[in-house]
Structure 1
Amino acid sequence: MFTGIVQALGTIDKVEQRGDLRLRVACPFDPATIDIGASIACSGVCLTVIDRGGTAGESYFLVDVSAETISRTAKKMWVEGAELNLEPSLRLGDELGGHIVTGHVDAVGKIADWQPEGDSTRLTIHAPAALAPFIAAKGSITVDGVSLTVNSVEDRTDGSVSFGLNIIPHTAEVTTLGALRQGGEVNLEVDTLARYLYRMQQLRAG
């Protein structure tokens, strides 16, 4: 489990195509705090650490990314030089600063609009129809591993949905969201609570 509060930016500094795609991610974590087999959310994708090394502030960890994961996540995120939002899994007693996040990507969204708004940035993201029932104004959503509040929702005639977000300067600075531009792809995970409420409504209606 995660909270969607990014703790560091990492950079993919080595890519190796094996049976799966093996990545080495450079990061500022202390390697002594990274356990083999631990889960780290990488831009919203829960991955398992298979090795780690380096020193505190200049460490790295290795993960394997399956073809299934690659097919269900944003394009061009698993390449050398790509930056990733990193969040280690929750530990007992940690503060739940965002919302409950599983690290399982529900769909890929596309940046439909990008506009400055005061000191912040206003993003409009287009999401597929399958996610429309789970996105609500003032609800939570995870974008590339970042817990955010939905400001507005627009249902489209084809069943898909567009929703608006505000990215404050701090969030833009400490995550990859500040580099997003129109047409870019992002990993989306809907709120777990919304998922269960939708299931309950389906059962009641049926």
Structure 2
Amino acid sequence: MFTGIIETLGIITRLEKEQENLHLTVKSQFTNELKIDQSVAHNGVCLTVVAIEDDEYTVTAIKETLDKTNIGNLKVNETVNLERGMKLGARLDGHIVQGHVDQTAECIRIENAEGSTIFTFKYDFNGDNITIEKGSITVNGVSLTVVNSKRNEFSVAIIPFTLEHTTFNTFKIGSTVNLEFDVIGKYVSKLHKIG
């Protein structure tokens, strides 16, 4: 379980394909605090630490993860948003995030606003994944509030701090991002379909 509050950026130092799996080695500020089998969210994707060496650790993404996320598009020296699992009893500053990406989206518009930057994303609508105005959404692991919710697109307003301390500062028109829709919204949508 995560909150969508990014702790730090990591740098991809090595990518190694093994059959249908991809091993990613990441350099991060908190590597020395990690343990084998610990969960870390990478651009919102929950992956398990399988090896640790000095200030780098390795995680493995399976085919399903590679098919549903942007993890397979990462390159060496690229940055990723990192968050360790939530501590029981800690404040929930973002929202409930599972680290299970639902699908990807494309950045279609970036606009400067007074004091913030508005990013608009378009996704393939399948009826299960929806946004609501002022609801929660996770974009590349970052907990955000939806503005301008539409059937298959939405916008988010990014404050300067978030822009500087996450991968949002690398986004361009056409960038592919990971989306995790609000878990409560997913349950409501599912209940509505079967009810």
Normalized against structure 2, the TM-score is what?
0.94
SS at match of 1:150: strand
Equivalent AA in structure 2 for residue 11 of structure 1: I
Higher CA-based Rg: 1
CA–CA separation in structure 2 for the residues paired with 1:67 and 1:47: 13
Residue in structure 1 matching 2:187, options 176, 184, 196: 196
Q: Is contact 2:108-2:121 (8 Å) kept?
A: yes
Describe the shift of the 1:133–1:26 C-alpha distance in structure 2 as closer, same or farther (beyond 3 A). closer
Does 161-170 or 62-71 show the bigger shift?
62-71
Q: Distance in 1 between matches of 2:153 and 2:133?
A: 11
Give the 3 Å change call, closer, same or farther, for CA 49–30 of structure 1 in structure 2: closer
Query: 1:125-204, aligned counterparts within 5 Å?
Result: 125-130=121-126, 134-155=130-151, 161-204=152-195
The residue that corresponds to 2:70 in the other structure is 74
> Do the aligned partners of residues 50 and 124 (structure 1) sit closer, same or farther apart at CA in structure 2, a change above 3 Å counting?
same
1:112 to 1:131, Cα distance in 2 relative to 1, 3 A: farther
Residue 49 of structure 1: aligned partner: 49
The alignment status of 1:116 with 2:112, answered yes or no, reads yes
Answer yes or no: is the 8 Å Cα contact 2:118–2:157 preserved in 1.
Answer: yes
- Could you list the per-position Cα deviations for residues 113-161 of structure 1 after superposition, in whole angstroms to 9, with x for gaps in the alignment? 1111112111111011126752000000000000000011123xxxxx1
Instruction: State the Cα distance separating 1:203 from its structure 2 match.
Output: 2.4
Gaps of 5+ in 1: 156-160
Match of 1:18 in 2: 18
The 3-state SS of whatever aligns with 1:16 is strand
For the structure 1 residues 94 and 29, does the alpha-carbon distance in structure 2 shift closer, same or farther, using more than 3 Å as the test?
Answer: same
SS at match of 1:134: coil
Does the Cα contact within 8 Å between 1:131 and 1:190 map onto a contact in 2? no
Larger deviation: 190-199 or 17-26?
17-26
C-alpha change, 1:97 and 1:131, in structure 2 (3 Å) is farther
Q: Aligned AA for 1:185?
A: T
| 1:44-93 Cα deviation digits (max 9, x unpaired) | 10000011132xxxx22111111221111127643211211000011211
* 3-state DSSP of counterpart to 2:65: helix
Q: Do 1:75 and 1:185's aligned partners in 2 also have CA atoms closer than 8 Å?
A: no
Aligned residues: 194
Alpha-carbon separation, structure 1, partners of 2:89 and 2:190: 30
Distance 1:45 1:148 in 2: 16
SS at match of 2:186: helix
**Unaligned 5+ runs, structure 2:** none
Q: Are the aligned partners of 2:128 and 2:186 in contact in 1 as well (CA < 8 Å)? A: no
Q: 1:11 to 1:133 in 2, by over 3 A?
A: closer
C-alpha root-mean-square deviation of aligned residues, in Å? 1.5
